[in-house]
Amino acid sequence: MNEPITAIPQAKSQKPITRMEIFGFGFGGLANNISSMVVAAYVIYFLTDVAGLSAAAAGGIYLVSKALDAVCDPLIGALSDRTVSRWGRYRPYMMFGGLMSAVTYILLFTAVPLPSTARVAYYLVVYCLWSVGFTLTVMPYQSVVALLSDNRQRRNVIVAVGKLVSATVGLIVAYAHQLVDALGGGGTAAGWQRMIGLFAVIVAASMWVCAYSIRRFDTREIAQQANANPEGRRYTLKERSTVVLGNKALLMLVIAFGTNNFADTCLSSTQNYYAKYVLEDMGFISAAGAIATALTVPIFIAAPFLTKRFNKRDIFKAATLIHIVFPIVLLLFGPGHETLILVTYSVARASGMLCNIIAFMMLPDCVDFGYKLSGIVSAGLVASTFTFSNKLCNALGGFLSSAVLDLVGFEANTVQTPLVLTTIVLCMSIPTIISDVASYAGMALYPIQEHMKKE
């Protein structure tokens, strides 16, 4: 059935957000994606093939850091909801968390000449610090969308603009190896550090632009209003928890997008090994990335228009059905059908981005749903529950591929055995199929329908 929802009061009390404010806010998407997408696609590869760690060590670092990061999400979400500062509730975390994220981003992609054990410890600590810094920026960025407008369609546009501003990141990820070669001057490690250094500057600057652009929506006065109940006292954590507990819309979104993230992580963490060792052609990543980006830009533009006509949950389900085609094709036909694999993989990446933008359009609706249940505005707690599940699924997806490859005898920068090559293909297909099925099932139970069929 359809679940009517009411916008939170802070979103109703402001003058409508302007186009320039929406555009400036979109730079937060650029900051978050230029770090998260590169890390998701390349950090395990960097740790094994550049930093010299074993696949098991790299996977363990990925799992531990992501698990710690996920635990931090609800803490940071609850803290930001309760924050009252001269910059409001969420903007302080975006501004200063962006600086922390930028510095640790560089350190993470720096090859250090340390003994093996010390090297593992270094990357574990730095990865954990980067993860915390990233959470300090991305969680408030996702939370604040619910405060920017009480119009659901306008919020869809706000999310879409953020995705469009960062659309070029897909090309950056696709051509990362070429950028590393160009900047490294023959040195792979130096190339990675210089490229990430440029990206880190963009991260810090973009988050400050984002925070400045929404300054009238996140002020001390608004923070004080949101933190006080009708009797004038601050809400307790137990009272705030009702925003999440019983929030069926959030639960189904968490299941659907979390498993979707698991599928994408299995693909992205394995694609470098697939291109390098199975196809022996790193150009596969560039070609697939270029095609996916060419498809993604019109998808981001079309998304707000699609939501005017179709329920978001139905769009998500359709994108999931498209996404599952690639792993099925890879499993049935194998890597020998290069053109078919390239096309279906590119389409899978593009459909994954459609799931991504629709999920983030659903998140403010889940904030409203929680407000309907409890009468409390706790966008940070809702957003942190959402990001917690995503990061946990990311951690499991990245760890699974690394652990399985290490188990069958993978060694970086050597000729791989037939067993390893087969395992790489299986890691890109079987987990993705299973998680796509789970994602579709979760979204089928999502309760909010914007467009009801007339009886």
3-class secondary structure, 176: helix
pLDDT recorded at residue 344: 94
Tokens of residue 103, six digits: 């510095």
pLDDT recorded at residue 306: 94
Whether 159 contacts 27, CB under 8 Å: no
Alpha carbon distances (Å) from 78 to 29, 121, 143: 22, 30, 11
Rounded to the nearest 10°, the torsion over CA 360, 366, 371, 372 is: 140
Cβ-Cβ contacts under 8 Å for 415 (sequence gap 6 or more) = none
SS3 content of the chain, % helix, strand, coil (to 5): 80, 0, 20
pTM over 0.95: no
DSSP state, 386? H
pLDDT recorded at residue 47: 92
pLDDT recorded at residue 4: 46
pLDDT recorded at residue 242: 73
Q: Round to whole Å and give the CA distance between 169 and 35.
A: 9
Residues of 204-219 as b/e, b for ≥16 C-beta within 10 angstroms?
bebbbbbbebbeebbb
Q: Round to whole Å and give the CA distance between 171 and 409.
A: 32
pLDDT recorded at residue 233: 57
pLDDT by residue (tens digit) across 47-75? Answer: 988 999 988 898 888 888 877 877 787 78
Domain ranges (residues) in the chain: 16-444
Task: Give the phi and the psi of residue 279 in degrees, each rounded to 5.
Answer: -85, -25
Provide the CATH topology of domain 16-444: Growth Hormone; Chain: A; (1.20.1250)
Alpha carbon distances (Å) from 266 to 31, 186, 190, 274: 23, 30, 28, 12
Whether 92 contacts 85, CB under 8 Å: yes
Q: Which residues of the chain have pLDDT under 70?
A: 1-14, 186-187, 226-237, 377, 452-455
Q: How many CB atoms lie within 10 A of CB 335?
A: 16
Q: Round to whole Å and give the CA distance between 7 and 434.
A: 36
3-class secondary structure, 103: helix
Q: Round to whole Å and give the CA distance between 110 and 132.
A: 18
Distance of CA 157 to the CA centre of its chain: 18
- End-to-end CA gap in the chain: 13
pLDDT recorded at residue 274: 92
Rounded to the nearest 10°, the torsion over CA 406, 408, 413, 414 is: 150
DSSP state, 236? P
